[in-house]
Amino acid sequence: MTLKIDKSLAEVLEWREKSRQDTESMSEEEQIAYIRQKAQNFMRQHDLTFTAIDSSGQKIPYPPHLNDK
């Protein structure tokens, strides 16, 4: 029996592996900063904003400094 992997899942697995390779020599803090920066770049490129909820339950735009271009 052969498992059939959906094209979308295959893409996600490729991205995940590339990210792992790009960050494997970084510390945990460096990995977090790298991934956060990549996400912010993507959000800027696609003009996306999200609302996050902080620990006090207050809504805040995410990322907070998205407009700093």
Provide the whole-model pTM. 0.58
At 59 the pLDDT is 87
pLDDT of residue 53: 85
pLDDT along the chain (69 residues), means of 10: 85 92 94 88 88 86 58
What is the Cα–Cα distance from 5 to 7, expressed in whole angstroms? 6
Q: What is the pLDDT of residue 35?
A: 87
Q: What is the pLDDT of residue 69?
A: 45
pLDDT the model gives residue 10: 92
Q: How far apart (Å, rounded) are the C-alpha atoms in residues 26 and 35? A: 11
Render the chain in DSSP notation, one character per residue: --PPPPHHHHHHHHHHHHHHHHHTTS-HHHHHHHHHHHHHHHHHHTT--EEEE-TTS-EEEESTTTT--
